Amino acid sequence: MILNKKETTVAYRCPECGVAVMSMVGIFALTADMLRLKCACGKSEMDIIYTKDKKIRLTVPCFTCPSPHSYMVSSQIFFEKDLFTLPCAYSGLDMCFIGKQEKVQEALREAEEELLEMLGDTDFATLSQSRGERRELSDPQVFDVVMYVVHELEDEGAIHCKCPDGEGEYEVEISNDHLLVYCTKCDASVTVPTDSVTAANDFLNSDRLDLQ
């Protein structure tokens, strides 16, 4: 019997030198230990951990923030999506790219073009030096981060309401400073704040959403 070989391509852009760091990651390597992707410049690294509940935790360096960001995704998304990207909550730019190699390479090129357009006359070294400066974030960027998590939880069956598991039907209502996630069948709901990047980042680590 031939086992289904689960592997995917993972990439990030080094916040120090700007080079794309890319590697193939297999499920058997993940179950053995934590994987660490390092840039050749030696100044950045991304950690990938396969958790006990079969999710993937990623700690990704960011080229606009002083500290790396942590994300949790399902193993199904990690290994089976053609392309899946993880954005920085502050800049809205994609930082981590997961999926088929050709799709990841294409997304990296598009992200590089977007980054170069954002930089304008500023070079990458200057951007690296300015990481950590206080920035204001527009509401749409925060909403994007929270909406990404809501959709991921729904795909994983991790949103629970008063209906029997798997029978709820969920909608999202957007307000100025929050999202209301509710079930159209039982009217159970929960409010998710979106008025700050702190709230958005806290919500990024949620592994379930309970509607009351």
Amino acid symbol at 153: L
Instruction: Please list, in sequence order, all residues whose beta carbon lies within 8 angstroms of the beta carbon of residue 200, skipping any fewer than 6 positions away.
Output: 89, 142, 145, 146, 194
Is the pTM for the entire model greater than 0.75?
Answer: no
Q: Give the highest mean pLDDT range of 34-38, 87-91, 178-182, 194-198.
A: 34-38
pLDDT band, residue 141 (cuts 50/70/90): low
> What DSSP string runs through 97-165?
EEE-HHHHHHHHHHHHHHHHHHHTT--HHHHHHTTT------HHHHHHHHHHHHHHHHHTT-EE-SSPT
CA distance 12 to 44: 10
Q: Which of 15-19, 66-70, 154-158, 198-202 has the least mean pLDDT?
A: 198-202
Q: Would you place residue 137 in the very low, low, confident or very high pLDDT band (cuts 50, 70, 90)?
A: very low
The identity of residue 3, as a single letter, is L
The string of pLDDT tens digits covering residues 48-83 is 988 777 788 888 988 777 778 888 888 888 888 899
Provide the pairing of β-strand 83-87 with 69-74: unpaired
